[in-house]
Amino acid sequence: MADLLSYLNPEQRAAVTLPDEPALILAGAGSGKTRVLTTRIAWLIQTGRINPAQVLAVTFTNKAAREMIARLSALLPLNPRGMWIGTFHGLCNRLLRVHCRAAGLPATFQILDIADQLSALKRLLKGLNLDSEKYPPKQLQNFINHAKEEGLRPSKMDVDNPFNRKFVELYEAYEIQCQREGAVDFAELLLRSYELLAREVSLREHYQARFQHILVDEFQDTNRLQYQWLKLLAGSKGAVFAVGDDDQSIYGFRGANVGNMLDFQREFEVRNLIKLEQNYRSHGHILDAANGLIANNAQRLGKNLYTEAGAGEPVRVYRAETDTREANWLGEEIHALIEQGGALDQIALLYRSNAQSRVFEHMLVSQGIPYRVYGGLRFFERQEIKHALAYLRLLDNLDDDTSFLRVVNFPTRGIGARALEQLNDMARLHQCSLAAAVTYVGGKTGANLIAFVQFIEQMRHATQAMSLPEVVEYITQTSGLIPHYETEREGQDRIENLRELVNAAVAFVAENGDELNTPARSIPLAPGATPAAQLPVNESAQISLTAEATDGMTPLSAFLSHASLEAGDNQAQTGQNAVQLMTVHAAKGLEFNAVFITGLEEGLFPHQNSTNDANSLEEERRLMYVAITRAKKRLYLSFAESRMLHGQTRYNVGSRFIDELPTEGLKWLTSKRDSFAQNSMTRSRDENSWGRNWFAKKSTQEVRVAPSALEARQRTAATGFWIGQAVFHTKFGEGTVAALEGNGAEARAQVNFSRHGAKWLALAVAKLQPIDD
Ligand code: ATP
Ligand code: MG
């Protein structure tokens, strides 16, 4: 025990060892909130106060949950994988799986991610013959999600204006459609489990008795419904341990409510309020910048942060003429960091909106710097993966119309739009799912549709006894997906991804323990799978639950939930040796040695929608505060005076946020006024130079020159190829390497083939041969 606590300062220790009462740890960035929360769980268990099954911890992302579980495993001799640690969505999914009947859901309910939900809504509007110009699906989606986040069902909604009335009607129709198809969107996961707990007294009491401790990270970003959910679970005892930072509340636009912190203090009668003031993450100048910036906000609960780490290096500011220049400069700086031994995954490029990543990606590819983008199109959101998942979902649930429509004619089976319209009509007429309606459609069309349903049935039958990875492999092949992509010119990548899906299934089984080795579609008899009615009121410590919400689920449906929840997760994964690119929102809770905050331009960051509204502007400033406080040792700020965005050139001035930083801690790499062209000539030697240790305070005076062709060649030689190299491919013939990306098994090259044009090839698979040296 002494060990656990010895890594903490006195305030942190006091927080970790608080009695079983409501507590709020209110503290600025990098002050160890997450560390305190994790240590408290370990401490509660280690000192025998509770057993692991009695903890419920909510984190903001799946990644954070995984990290917490990993840290606990390191701290404790027990296996904490079975604990209820996860995101709100993940935990609600788990609850609903165990109690699906009580929640009014089929055991195989499918989760709709944001994109699935949108397509379900489009389908709904189409089926009702409604003009999507008049009822924009995205707007309807926001309306529905917002209502759900407020805990509102259609029957409870205000319908006094005609437009609202229509939207409420559509919300209701959407609910009926989801129910029929066994589909649950993200907001529904929460609302449904909230309603379940609110309605079923014995169930609620069971969980209230079970979860002796509820711990919540990033509490400032909980929305109303999440707060109510926590309150319900906490019951009268209310041992909720919340950690948060009002200055980092950045999801107000999505309904998060800082007011929850105040309500929490009042409603839970919080007597234990602890503030942590020492920052362990950032060097002094970085922290000064953060403090100076956030002091401009009026709406604050008020906290201080200091560090003992010393001032460190100044915050570097760079003004570029264009976005391309900004990107090239970034490339140079990154190379310099790498040459000085900086780890790639300790370098983060942050931006306000996803669209900004394109120009950086282009630069990184052409400079041969491995990188990884988070928040863009993620693995589980790719077309081919979605297709494969749709087949897998149909095995589980033929009534899943979203999946049915996705693959009924992919690969093509001669089932056109007309046929689907007929099928839709029949389904509506008979109030049933599309699969159930196929027999009502006559003629050749009907026969094709029936054949498709039979085909799914056959695959379902054939996979009955297979393990999860076997099912996935079988489906990608037998559904016709792989054969289809084999005939496509650009299909190689997609096939690779489908193979990767098999690997993902293998990894999933490995991570989730032995109970998943049963045939993929029979329900494992883990103790957690006990039907609601038989749930023991006092569960013992040996209860076996897994990190993922697998209890009560078949391995296949557990895997499918995992895929949907991952797709909704905006976060980086660990262990990638690559420069990390992400939006500031996605960087929350993370830390890196070196951080670049790019595109610091008025209208971009702060976002133009916010500049006329004091509240939104404060939220943008909090976002900037989050960005700055991700940096441990080195922070760069940059902006471009002109930028191509959404097909237009915008001319910008630097962000007000730069002006709000204490000038003593800033170091302009370009002058504030002179043009970039003049500046780049006069950049001081010091600016461009680096010591051996890339964070050494005293830099050497060597001048870095642009990398020579030889250096460039050495940089990319890790893959065995370099840009400009002539190569030969058995199928596509001769070509030249145009770009390289990733490394090791993930290395890819873009090759311009003289006869087949440009192609991206995975080097581990494509047998590329160098022609000359
Ligand atoms: P954020 O608000 O960004 O989520 P946080 O308050 O959760 O930050 P942590 O991520 O827990 O902060 O901690 C920041 C860094 O400081 C981590 O690297 C952590 O390991 C380290 N740290 C925290 N407390 C201590 C301590 N007492 N001694 C040494 N290092 C510490
Ligand atoms: Mg944290």
Q: Which atom of ligand 1 is nearest to the CA of 590?
A: 3
Dist. CA 279 → ligand 1 center (Å): 7
Dist. CA 30 → ligand 2 center (Å): 7
Tokens of 425: 């009509």
Atom 2 of ligand 1, nearest CA residue: 29
**All residues at 6 or more sequence positions from 751 whose CB lies less than 8 Å from its CB, including other chains:** 727, 729, 732, 735, 736, 737, 738, 758, 759, 761, 768
Q: Which atom of ligand 1 is nearest to the CA of 630?
A: 3
Q: Are strands 648-651 and 631-645 parallel, antiparallel or unpaired?
A: antiparallel
Q: How many CA atoms lie within 13 A of 740 on its CB side?
A: 26
**CATH code given to domain 315-378+571-668:** 3.40.50.300
* CA–CA separation, 387 and 744 (whole Å): 28
Closest to 289 in 3D by CA, of 319, 320, 314, 318: 314
Q: How many CA atoms lie within 13 A of 715 on its CB side?
A: 24
Q: What is the DSSP letter of 706?
A: P
Q: Which amino acid is at 51?
A: N
Dist. CA 286 → ligand 2 center (Å): 17
Helix axes 224-234, 88-98, angle to 10 degrees: 50
Atom 19 of ligand 1, nearest CA residue: 32
380-512 and 710-770 share one fold: no
Catalytic annotation present for 630: yes
| Whether residue 75 has pLDDT greater than 80 | no
Residue 15 binned pLDDT confidence (cut-offs 50, 70, 90) = very high
* CA–CA separation, 31 and 36 (whole Å): 9
Dist. CA 506 → ligand 1 center (Å): 34
| Whether residue 478 has pLDDT greater than 70 | yes
Task: Compute how many other C-beta atoms are within 10 angstroms of the C-beta atom of residue 122.
Answer: 15
Strands, E, within 277-360: which ranges?
A: 315-322, 347-351
| Whether residue 144 has pLDDT greater than 60 | yes
In terms of residues, how long is the chain?
773
Q: Is the ipTM of this complex over 0.95?
A: yes
Q: What is the pLDDT of residue 253?
A: 76
Q: Which atom of ligand 1 is nearest to the CA of 31?
A: 6
- Among 11, 12, 33, 117, the one annotated catalytic: 33
Cα–Cα distance list, 135 to 171, 176, 186, 339, 610 (Å): 12, 18, 22, 54, 26
Q: What is the pLDDT of residue 772?
A: 56
pTM of the predicted protein model:
0.73
- Among 248, 402, 546, 598, the one annotated catalytic: 248
Q: What is the pLDDT of residue 70?
A: 82
Pocket of ligand 1 (CB under 6 A): 7-9, 12, 27, 29-35, 245, 248, 280-281, 589, 591, 629
Per-residue pLDDT of 724-748, as tens digits, reads 778 888 777 888 877 777 767 777 7
**All residues at 6 or more sequence positions from 736 whose CB lies less than 8 Å from its CB, including other chains:** 724, 725, 726, 727, 751, 752
- Taking the CA of 36 as reference, the closest ligand is 1
Atom 16 of ligand 1, nearest CA residue: 280
Atom 24 of ligand 1, nearest CA residue: 32
| Ligand 1 binding pocket mutation candidate from 281, 286, 630 (most atoms within 8 A of CB) | 281
Cα–Cα distance list, 408 to 182, 265, 418, 450, 616 (Å): 18, 53, 13, 11, 45
Domain limits, the chain: 10-101+190-278, 110-181, 315-378+571-668, 380-512, 710-770
Per-residue pLDDT of 403-414, as tens digits, reads 999 999 999 898
Lowest mean pLDDT among 335-349, 537-551, 587-601: 537-551
Q: Which atom of ligand 1 is nearest to the CA of 29?
A: 2
- Among 11, 149, 188, 217, the one annotated catalytic: 217
| Whether residue 483 has pLDDT greater than 70 | yes
- Taking the CA of 308 as reference, the closest ligand is 1
Q: Which amino acid is at 527?
A: P
* CA–CA separation, 378 and 79 (whole Å): 30
pLDDT, mean of residues 596-609: 93
Lowest mean pLDDT among 341-345, 565-569, 587-591: 565-569
Dist. CA 222 → ligand 1 center (Å): 21
Tokens of 672: 């504030």
Cα–Cα distance list, 356 to 327, 365, 556, 598, 605 (Å): 10, 15, 37, 9, 11
Tokens of 190: 């929460």
Q: What is the pLDDT of residue 126?
A: 86
| Whether residue 92 has pLDDT greater than 80 | yes
Q: What is the DSSP letter of 353?
A: S
Per CATH, which fold does 710-770 belong to?
A: SH3 type barrels. (2.30.30)
pLDDT, mean of residues 469-493: 88
- Among 67, 181, 188, 218, the one annotated catalytic: 218
3-state helix, strand, coil in the chain (%, to 5): 50, 15, 35
| Ligand 1 binding pocket mutation candidate from 8, 9, 34, 593 (most atoms within 8 A of CB) | 34
Instruction: Say if residues 749 and 722 touch (Cβ distance below 8 Å).
Output: no
pLDDT, mean of residues 178-202: 94
Mean pLDDT, all residues of the chain: 82
- Taking the CA of 248 as reference, the closest ligand is 1
Q: Are strands 733-741 and 726-729 parallel, antiparallel or unpaired?
A: antiparallel
Dist. CA 26 → ligand 2 center (Å): 11
- Which contiguous run of DSSP H or E holds residue 214? strand 213-216
**CATH code given to domain 10-101+190-278:** 3.40.50.300
pLDDT, mean of residues 468-484: 94
* CA–CA separation, 305 and 307 (whole Å): 7
- Which contiguous run of DSSP H or E holds residue 737? strand 733-741
Dist. CA 255 → ligand 2 center (Å): 20
Per-residue pLDDT of 413-459, as tens digits, reads 989 888 998 999 999 899 999 999 999 998 999 999 999 999 999 99
Dihedral (Cα; 724, 725, 727, 733), 10-degree rounding: 20
What's phi and psi for 543, nearest 5 deg?
-55, 135
| Whether residue 568 has pLDDT greater than 60 | no
Atom 23 of ligand 1, nearest CA residue: 32
- Cα angle: 751, vertex 753, 755; to 5 degrees: 165
Tokens of 604: 């971009």
* CA–CA separation, 652 and 668 (whole Å): 18
* CA–CA separation, 438 and 401 (whole Å): 12
| Ligand 1 binding pocket mutation candidate from 278, 280, 584 (most atoms within 8 A of CB) | 280
**All residues at 6 or more sequence positions from 50 whose CB lies less than 8 Å from its CB, including other chains:** 44, 212, 213
**All residues at 6 or more sequence positions from 222 whose CB lies less than 8 Å from its CB, including other chains:** 88, 216, 230, 256, 257, 260
Dist. CA 48 → ligand 1 center (Å): 25
Catalytic annotation present for 217: yes
Overall CATH class of domain 380-512: mainly alpha
Closest to 24 in 3D by CA, of 258, 219, 226: 219
| Whether residue 685 has pLDDT greater than 50 | no
Torsional sign, CA 491, 492, 495, 500: negative
| Whether residue 687 has pLDDT greater than 60 | no
Q: What is the pLDDT of residue 535?
A: 31
pLDDT, mean of residues 480-497: 83
- Among 34, 356, 492, 546, the one annotated catalytic: 34
Q: What is the tally of helices (H) and strands (E) in the chain? A: 29, 21
Catalytic annotation present for 47: no
Dist. CA 274 → ligand 2 center (Å): 15
* CA–CA separation, 308 and 314 (whole Å): 16
| Whether residue 570 has pLDDT greater than 80 | no
Per CATH, which fold does 110-181 belong to?
A: Arc Repressor Mutant, subunit A (1.10.10)
Catalytic annotation present for 218: yes
Catalytic annotation present for 33: yes
Strands, E, within 621-713: which ranges?
A: 631-645, 648-651, 666-668
| Ligand 1 binding pocket mutation candidate from 6, 35, 584 (most atoms within 8 A of CB) | 35
Per-residue pLDDT of 369-390, as tens digits, reads 888 877 655 667 678 888 999 9
